[in-house]
Chain A
């Protein structure tokens, strides 16, 4: 069965620090998709990135970067030079080819000025 584990319940950093959010997944499928979502204090869920199981290239988008490693079943998310506006709950999610989409428990990120 598919499963996503975000072991870090809450992380607090000071502005401008780098922070990495961990995501470990379990699946029996060879074709699957991984996602990261952000939920700011306003409550909406905002899509950040999608990765398929055949594309292990890391990705960078501004201050955000993602490290996908199939060998360790991990899809970690790093924010460089964090800002107060990055304070949110971040969710990692996994979709197998059958399209059941499951989420991890989320990591609360608090960035203090």
Chain B
């Protein structure tokens, strides 16, 4: 799986948008970008995934650059409960076990 690079930590004011960047310059054509988060040692929670088009769900938006070498996860109105470690993972989408490889992620602190 392609390697990703994320900032170690970020702060965001409560109610503002949190924009979390991720670089994945070696991503291959059959790899998707997945985002998970982990709130204080709870199980990793799936947020969103995408291939090349921008995606939105009830939790977040995912913006992927045209060359697919980087992406941004956007939490539109961050709350204190969004304080967590956010992981950007690239992974093949398809049949097979295709496990996830977690890096250190970005520790997002939402500040009142």
Do these two chains interact? Answer: no
Interface residues of B (CB under 8 A from A): none
Which residues from chain A sit less than 8 Å from chain B, CB to CB? none
